[in-house]
Amino acid sequence: MSDGGSRAMVEALKGLLGSDRVFTGGPEARAASADESDLGSVEPLGVVRPREAPEVAAIVGLALEHGVPLTARGAGTSLEGSSIPSPGAVVVDFSAMDAVAELVPEEQRVTVGPGIVYERLNRLLQPHGLFFPPSPGGSADAATVGGMVSTDASGIYALKYGGTRRWVLALDVVTGRGDSMRVGRVVPKTSAGYDLKDLFVGAEGTLGLITSVTLRLAPLPPEARKAGFVFDDLAGACAAAAEMAAFIPEMAALELCDAETLDLLRALPAYASLPSGHALFVEAHGRADDCVQGVEAAAAVAASHQGRPLPPGLPDPWEMRHRTTGVIRESARPRGVVRTDCAVPLRRLADFVAEAKTRAARRARTLHVFGHVGLGILHLLMPLAGPGAWTRDEALAEKRRLALAAISVGGTSSGEHGVGLGNRDLLPAEHPVGLAYMRGLKSLFDPHGLMNPGKVLPGP
Ligand SMILES: Cc1cc2nc3c(=O)[nH]c(=O)nc-3n(C[C@H](O)[C@H](O)[C@H](O)COP(=O)(O)OP(=O)(O)OC[C@H]3O[C@@H](n4cnc5c(N)ncnc54)[C@H](O)[C@@H]3O)c2cc1C
């Protein structure tokens, strides 16, 4: 697009929103140029901060008129580059659209602006005995509901409650054609036609922009009980996790943290008393008796795989677990990490992890393994600096190999972080026939290719 076209777009946006909500250059544009991946940055043409749906529709109208791409942004915590601006794009920052529009506790539903932050929403719901469960781990205090819907985010409680998709009833969207529409209904079930709403869940802003989200809510569990176990053998920890997930119905969360990652946590003063080994953290939900029974059953399974309880007095397991991504990235400065969040069927978990570790060890490389193992979701992180560092080429080749291995056993290249830029080239292997249908849907909803172009779908 010509400089003249870009200038005309910026002037038109200022005319629409006023100069105080259109940012070109400066700290706002720099802050919106990257996400939490290590996949680089792109300074956007500008950043706009709409306050209501009609403004979003008008922004899409201007993008169509001037041929300027748009990249939606919640909090920018994506780990696969999905919120890095497309080249030449205007970033539509949804942080000001964060109101609760309607809360109907007796129907267990809420309608919110897409910019509301996950933890804030749950704080508002707590007095009503309700919550939105997925819990995206270490980003729960920042990730927005719009970003979670657009990546189909999950997290520690997705084992019992499922990921974001399960809780989305309806969305108001502006498509890449400029149409405003509601997809989905506020009732819990509909059989009326193709499910357009589910197409927007996980679309990473490539089909259109979400201006409102209606969620179903879960009742808060009457009781919760946490425990942790440590194993000398990683395959044993994985086998125990698979058994707990399959046979202990009270399990709400089931997380793995391997020894290399625990070593980094132990270096922090608060966690100095962590034992060495591979850890499983669990949480049971239900009535008090059920929770006790669930944790006792988990302890029995752990013991049958030579696991032992973590010593008492350690900090909250989720507080530790939520710091894993941060400590690993810190250890890999200044180059960062290459990651995959592939997922495998539970019965493949132990072999998959053991083989990945053996391959890394053979080359004297560090491979961090943690994740929502109750769902088979593994976060495998390869540091590009520090002890056991991989070269970027080696790590990218290994990421591809791991993801293809996961796909070959029926798993997926991304359990929850999405495709963005980092997993794009894996899509043909996972959807050899489906990819053409995905391209057809993209051109139906976004015929001019202006909605977060370059994300999700690989080049032709
Ligand atoms: C420390 C850490 C831990 C994490 N843990 C987890 C985890 O446990 N589980 C998990 O699933 N993820 C996790 N993530 C990844 C990330 O937090 C999630 O993907 C989250 O859902 C992104 O939300 P966001 O508001 O930051 O979205 P952004 O990064 O801003 O955007 C993500 C995608 O959504 C699109 N988008 C945003 N808003 C809209 C909108 N209104 N309309 C259309 N498209 C939109 C963007 O264009 C982009 O494609 C973690 C990230 C970090 C940094």
Note the CATH architecture for domain 100-219.
2-Layer Sandwich (3.30)
CB 71 less than 6 A from any atom of ligand 1 = yes
**Mean pLDDT across the stretch 73-86?**
98
For residue 214, the cross-strand partners are 111, 170
Atom of ligand 1 at shortest distance to CA of 416? 11
- For the record, the structure tokens of 346 come out as 């539970």
User: What count of other Cβ atoms lies within 10 Å of the Cβ of residue 144?
Assistant: 28
Give CATH for domain 324-426: 3.30.70.2740
Q: Decide yes or no: CATH 3.30.420.40 for domain 221-322.
A: no
32 Cβ below 6 A of ligand 1: no
Q: Name the residue of 35, 41, 49, 79 to mutate for ligand 1: max ligand atoms within 8 A of Cβ.
A: 79
**Sequence letter at residue 431:** H
Ligand 1 centre to CA of 113 (Å) is: 15
The model's pLDDT over 245-281, given as tens digits with 9 standing for 90+, comes to 999 999 999 999 999 999 999 999 989 989 999 999 9
The Cα 143–Cα 83 span in angstroms is 12
* 74-78, 120-124, 311-315, range with the lowest pLDDT: 311-315
Give the span between the Cα atoms of 191 and 185, in whole angstroms. 10
Judge if the beta carbon of residue 148 lies within 6 A of ligand 1. yes
Q: Could you give the CA distance from residue 237 to residue 239 in angstroms, rounded to a whole number?
A: 6
* Cβ-contact 231, 307 below 8 angstroms: yes
Q: How confident is the model at residue 3 (pLDDT cuts 50, 70, 90)?
A: confident
- Residue identified by tokens 């539903």 is 109
User: Angle at which helices 259-266 and 324-331 pack, to 10 degrees?
Assistant: 80
Confidence of residue 313 (pLDDT cuts 50, 70, 90): confident
| Per-residue confidence band for 318, with pLDDT thresholds at 50, 70 and 90 | very high
The predicted pLDDT at position 312 comes to 81
Cβ 417 under 6 angstroms from ligand 1: yes
Per cent of the chain over pLDDT 70 is 100
**Average pLDDT of the residues in 147-152:** 98
Do 3-96 and 221-322 agree at the fold level?
Answer: no
Within 333-420, residue ranges assigned H as helices are: 349-362, 392-408
How does DSSP classify residue 373? G
- Residue whose Cα lies nearest atom 32 of ligand 1: it is 147
The pLDDT of residue 256: 97
Q: Could you tell me if the CB of 452 is within 6 A of ligand 1?
A: yes
Mean pLDDT of the chain: 96
The predicted model gives 159-180 an average pLDDT of 98
Instruction: Summarize the confidence of residues 380-395 as an average pLDDT.
Output: 97
The mean pLDDT of 150-157, rounded to a whole number, is 97
**pLDDT surpassing 70 at residue 1:** no
Q: Is pLDDT of 437 > 90?
A: yes
For domain 3-96, the CATH class is alpha beta
pLDDT greater than 90 at residue 311: no
* 98 vs 94: CA distance, rounded Å: 8
The finding on whether 146 has its CB within 6 A of some atom of ligand 1 is yes
For ligand 1, the distance from its centroid to the CA atom of residue 314, given in whole angstroms, is 30
Ligand 1 proximity of 253 Cβ (cutoff 6 Å)? no
Q: Is the CB of 176 under 6 A from ligand 1?
A: no
CA distance 266 to 253: 22
For the chain, which residues make up each domain, given as ranges? Answer: 3-96, 100-219, 221-322, 324-426
The atom number, within ligand 1, closest to the CA of 140 reads: 17
* Alpha carbon of 34 to ligand 1 centroid (Å): 12
